[in-house]
Every structure is written in C-alpha cells, then in structure tokens.
C-alpha cells in the first residue's frame, strides 16, 4: 500500500516568510543603491582664486603666543598722508629695544591669503554621470525582468494572494525609491577677531629711538591729562574724548608704545610704503588693545587677527567666538546640498561681505568670528587657496621672522564699534580637541585632519552638457542653490533665480563652443580651435578648463608667450590644474623664466 504524503501545514507559510524576507532585502538594496546615486557623478576639483582682502577698511595683526611671550606684527593700513601717521598702543610692560623690529608685509599678506575664506569649485563630468545612469537603467531593467519572473513563479507556487501582497510591498518601496532618487535633499538639510623729555608732568619716557622709517617712544604716565598734554606737545594728535580711555588704561597699569613716521628716514629709504612693526614682550596678559582705534572712527571697524601657536588654537575669552557659516561637507564626489549658484564666483567678495554682515547682526554685533583654524602646509588646507609654491614661501617667511615652530594658525575676524566692544580683546588658548568638540556640536568641523575649521563655500559647474536623467536631476539643484544664497545673504530670491537662469544659458553655450574647439584641436586644427575657445571665453571667462585648452592649442602653434599667459590664467582659477602647471613649468624653462 502506498502511503500518501501529507503536506506540512507550516511549509507554505515558512516559504512565504522566506520569500518576503528575501524580497524586502532585495528592495532595501535597490533603495540604498538609488539613494546613493547622486554621489556618483562628480569629479574634478577647483579652488577659485579669491581676493585676500575682502573688506575695504580692515586692520591686520599677527600675534605669536608662546607661554607668556607675545609677539605682535602690526600691519599698517593707514591711507592718509605719511607725515600724519601716528599710532598709540597700550602695552602691559615696557619692552627692550631689541624686542622691537621691522617686519614683512609679505608675511601678513601670505597669512591673509592662506587663511582667507575660500570659494571651491567642482567640475561635474556629465559624460561619467550619464555612464553611471546608463548602468543604473540596465540594472533597473534587469531587476524588473527578474522581478516579473519571480512573481510568475510565486503565482504558480502560492497563489494570487501572495502575489498581491508582494506587489503592494513593491509599490510602497518603489514610491520611496522614486522620491529618494532625484534629490540630494536627504544629504543636504544640515545646511548650515632714559627719560630724555619730560615736558609734561607725571609722564616718564622710558626710551626713545628711531627704527627704520619710524620714531618710537616708550612711556608711562600717572594720569591722563599729563599724558594727553605730552602727546599733543610731541606731535601725536588725539581726539578730545580720548582722556577717559587713556585714564582707564593708566589705572590698569598699562604702558604706552607710541610711533610716528620719521619723514627723512622714510624719504631716504628703499620702500615707498610703511612696513609692519614687530613688538614682543613677556606678560601673562594675552590681549589686544583696540579701543583707541574707535575714537576717530566714523563707521564700524574690521580687525583680522592671526594667532600663531605651536599646537593650540585660540578664541576670544571676553566676547563670544562664533563660527562663520561654512560648507564643510561638499566634496568632489559628494554634494552636500549646501552649494551656491555658480555665478557667485564673479561676486564672491560681495557675497562674503553680505553674509558676514548678516551673521554679525544676528550675533548682536558683539561677537568675534572664527574664519580659520589649522596647520600651515599643503596637506593641511581643504582646499588650499594659494598654490604650493606660495605655501612654501610663507613657511620660509615665518622662519625668517623667527616663527619657525609656530605652525598652527587661528584667524579671527572682529567687526566692532565702541558701544558693542567696550573692552579690549582678551584671548584664551584652547586645545584642538576641545575646539573640535565644540565644532562637532554644531556640525561644522572640517573633514580634513590638518584643518579644524575654515570658511569654505562651494559651487558646482558642468564640465560638459548633461543628458537624460542627469540633466533633469542637475536642474533640480538650482532652486536649492538659490535658496542657500538668499538665506545666507538676504538677497532677493527672484533676482537670484533670474541670474541662475541667465548664467546657465550662457555657460551652456560656452560649453558648446568649447567642445567644438576640442574636436578641432584633436584633429590638429588648432588655429580654428582658438576661434571657438575665444567665443567660449567671451561667454564664460572664469572657466579654467577652456583657458587650459586654449593654452595647449597655442603651445602646439609655437606661440609660447601666449600659451604661458593662458596656462597662468587657468592656474589663477584652478591652482591644481596639473596639466596647466606642467605646461607652465616647461614654457618658463623655454622662455628663460623661473617658476614663481
């Protein structure tokens, strides 16, 4: 007798659970694949050449701090007649003559350029973008076919009820994938400072001497009336309301470093500008007196402070230290959603000024802003706003000025008035770990190990014309870019959107001219290619790739001087265009020049 086999009641349910588990895992994989898709198609790297001086009237001071020793490098931004220049600086102790010297403007300018807020540009390669999308289409087609066959198999195995349930699951997951696919918003919504003359009673002149183009006097006083009288008698003009502030400094036990130009020495000297004064002294007071600078001011003052240390950062202790808004997430292959419209490249100083003023007002007009904190070096910046040779030069200048081991830089920006900053700036050193922890709380820390923080802003531009889904997805970013710019600056959103549209049309036409030029160049028709590059650059003069392509054609046509100029223009826009740099070095050798 043949025994009939009975079906296990748990069998179909078990198989069904396994099928559902497998299907959910499969759908999750597809969802993750497509959600990650926006990060596929971005290659190229660009650092826009940004003017280091973003503000019309800003004083710059370098302070190197080592234990209780402070060394100040005070840049002179005086814009009047040289004979009228005078500076009065309260200091806690009387320094020795050997602690005062003339510094280098190049050092101040180099630190300013290296730490300045920077604009980064990424070129998005639409060809690779389409290649990735084609692979996605093929993969999607495969899963559609596979899914259809799978459903057919299930219908044969378990009936239509199971198929309907699975179709509902697929529909829900498909909706989620469709919503997640086109947008970067899921990655984007974290957007986010020997007394030889006692003509006035109670004033002691500790020392007086000439150094370079300056007459320097070191003095102390017992009360402000005598000090004001001495200053007036010795040609240091002060305002009528300065006495109360001078008395305040006297009561704090402060001494005074006073300086004016020695016209004879200045006229006979080899420099036609006022050089920085370097002053060092030992004191536990880590501070910068700035209030006297407000007495004759008719508007807000800007002060940029570069604090050098061996391994520590610095903040302002007696006022809030705020972090300037920054895009620390966007990378060449990872858009953040915090990018700005491409036309900002031509308007970066105006953008930064508007953004800074907005943040300054938001903080109550009495905060110092951190704009940079990190090491000096090629691998430390993210990205570097100056070419490698300029970083090497800056390191040499630091060595020459006695700052050999001071490799950590903090840049603080203070916009101030007397009513909002009634006290001088007092600084506090902080460990990099503590500063990083504070930035992590606000999701502002740099992802580069060499730099903790920097003012960093990103634009993205197409390297060539997109097609297919890439074109549609790229277009969806523009409203987000416009909103980011409007929120940062307070500029009118409609005007921004109009500019984006105009820029997109112009840039697209420039790309078409450039592509035609490249085709001609590849066939050896470099003279004709130059005509197309010229048309493209008339439309988009900030495109480093077109400048570099123009340089190659000029080089092939044996026009080395013009080629060199084209490559140097490309490098001024993109300091890490290694093709342009190689040609630049080769041409300078051919022309007998040296690499700057």
- Note the pLDDT tens digit of each residue in 464-493: 656 666 666 667 788 999 999 999 999 999
* pLDDT of the residue at 194: 35
Q: What is the DSSP letter of 325?
A: P
Q: What is the per-residue pLDDT for 471?
A: 67
Give residue 29's pLDDT band: very low, low, confident or very high (50, 70, 90). Answer: very low
CA distances from 68 to 71, 285, 287, 576 (A): 10, 8, 11, 40
Q: Is the peptide bond before 18 cis (omega within 30 degrees of 0)?
A: no
Q: Locate tokens 């694949």: which residue?
A: 33
Q: CA-CA distance, 27 to 30, in Å (whole number)?
A: 5
Distance of CA 326 to the CA centre of its chain: 8
Quick check: 230 and 202 in contact, CB under 8 A? no
Average pLDDT over residues 62-81: 86
> What was the pLDDT predicted at 366?
94
Residue 94 sits at φ, ψ, to 5 deg, of: -85, 115
381-416 pLDDT per residue, tens: 777 788 788 889 999 999 999 898 898 999 999 999
Task: Kindly state the percentage of the chain with pLDDT values over 70.
Answer: 73
Least confident of 132-146, 198-212, 282-296, 558-572: 132-146
The answer to whether residue 536 scores a pLDDT higher than 70 is yes
Helix axis angle, 224-233 relative to 243-251, nearest 10°? 120
Percent of the chain residues topping a pLDDT of 90: 40
**Virtual CA dihedral for 315, 320, 321, 324, nearest 10 degrees?**
-170
Question: Residue 12: which pLDDT band, with cuts at 50, 70 and 90?
Answer: very low
The DSSP symbol for 245 reads H
Helices (H), 211-309: 224-233, 243-251, 263-268
Question: Distance (Å, rounded) from C-alpha 207 to C-alpha 191?
Answer: 55
Mean per-residue pLDDT of the chain = 79
The answer for residues whose C-beta is within 8 angstroms of residue 316's C-beta and 6 or more apart is: 193, 368, 412, 414, 425, 426, 427, 428
pLDDT of 112 higher than 90: yes
Q: What is the pLDDT of residue 182?
A: 45
The string of pLDDT tens digits covering residues 434-463 is: 988 888 888 877 766 667 888 999 998 776
Residues 52-81, mean pLDDT to the nearest whole number: 78
pLDDT at 225: 86
**What is residue 259's three-state secondary structure?**
strand
pLDDT of the residue at 594:
45
The conformation of residue 379, written as its DSSP 8-state character, comes to G
Q: Helix, strand, coil shares of the chain as percentages rounded to 5?
A: 50, 20, 30
557 vs 563: CA distance, rounded Å: 9
Q: What is the pTM for the complete model shown?
A: 0.75
């Amino acid at each position: 007798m043949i025994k009939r086999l009975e079906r296990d009641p748990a069998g179909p349910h078990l198989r069904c659970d396994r099928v559902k588990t497998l299907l959910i895992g499969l759908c999750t994989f597809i969802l993750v694949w497509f959600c990650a898709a926006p990060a596929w198609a971005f290659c190229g790297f660009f650092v826009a050449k940004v003017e280091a001086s973003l503000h019309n009237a800003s004083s710059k001071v370098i302070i190197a701090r080592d234990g209780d020793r402070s060394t100040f490098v005070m840049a002179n931004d005086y814009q009047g007649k040289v004979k009228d220049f005078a500076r009065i600086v309260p200091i806690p102790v009387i320094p020795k003559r050997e602690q005062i010297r003339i510094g280098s403007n190049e050092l101040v300018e180099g630190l300013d350029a290296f730490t300045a807020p920077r604009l980064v540009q990424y070129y998005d390669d639409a060809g690779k973008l389409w290649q990735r999308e084609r692979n996605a289409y093929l993969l999607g087609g495969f899963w559609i076919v596979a899914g259809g066959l799978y459903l057919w198999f299930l219908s044969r195995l378990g009936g239509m009820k199971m198929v309907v349930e699975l179709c509902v699951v697929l529909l829900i997951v498909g909706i989620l994938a469709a919503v997640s696919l086109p947008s970067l918003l899921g990655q984007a919504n974290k957007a986010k400072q020997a007394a030889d003359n006692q003509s006035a009673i109670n004033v002691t002149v500790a020392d007086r001497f000439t150094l370079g183009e300056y007459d320097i006097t070191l003095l102390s006083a017992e009360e402000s009336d005598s000090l004001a009288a001495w200053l007036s008698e010795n040609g240091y003009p002060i305002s009528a309301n300065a006495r109360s502030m001078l008395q305040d400094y006297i009561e704090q036990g402060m001494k005074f470093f006073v300086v004016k130009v020695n016209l004879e020495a200045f006229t006979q000297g080899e420099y036609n500008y006022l050089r920085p004064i370097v002053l060092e002294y030992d004191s536990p007071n880590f501070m910068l007196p700035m209030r006297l600078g407000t007495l004759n001011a008719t508007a807000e003052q800007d002060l940029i402070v570069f604090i050098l240390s061996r391994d520590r950062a610095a903040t302002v202790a007696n006022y809030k230290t705020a972090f300037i808004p920054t895009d620390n997430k966007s990378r060449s292959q990872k858009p953040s959603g915090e990018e700005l419209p491409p036309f900002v490249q031509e308007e970066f100083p105006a953008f930064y000024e508007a953004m800074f003023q907005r943040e300054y007002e938001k903080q109550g007009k009495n905060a110092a802003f951190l704009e940079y904190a990190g090491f000096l070096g090629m691998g430390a910046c993210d990205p570097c706003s100056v070419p490698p040779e300029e970083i090497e030069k800056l390191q040499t200048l630091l060595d020459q000025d006695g700052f050999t081991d001071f490799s950590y830089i903090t840049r603080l920006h203070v916009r101030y008035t007397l009513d909002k900053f009634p006290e001088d700036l007092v600084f506090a050193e902080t460990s990099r770990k503590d500063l990083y922890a504070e930035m992590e709380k606000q999701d502002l820390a740099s992802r580069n190990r060499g730099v903790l923080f920097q003012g960093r802003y990103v634009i993205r531009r197409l390297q060539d014309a997109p097609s297919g889904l890439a074109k549609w997805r790229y277009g969806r970013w523009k409203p987000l870019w416009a909103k980011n710019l409007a929120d940062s600056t307070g500029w009118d959103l409609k005007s921004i959107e109009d500019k984006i549209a105009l820029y997109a049309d112009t840039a697209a036409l420039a790309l078409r001219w450039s592509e035609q030029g490249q085709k001609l160049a590849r066939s050896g028709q470099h003279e004709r290619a130059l005509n197309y590059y010229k048309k493209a650059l008339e439309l988009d003069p900030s495109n480093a790739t077109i400048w570099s392509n123009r340089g190659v054609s000029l080089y092939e046509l044996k026009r080395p001087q013009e080629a060199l100029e084209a490559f140097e223009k490309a490098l001024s826009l993109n300091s890490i265009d290694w093709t342009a740099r190689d040609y630049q070095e080769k041409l300078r050798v051919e022309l007998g020049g040296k690499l700057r």
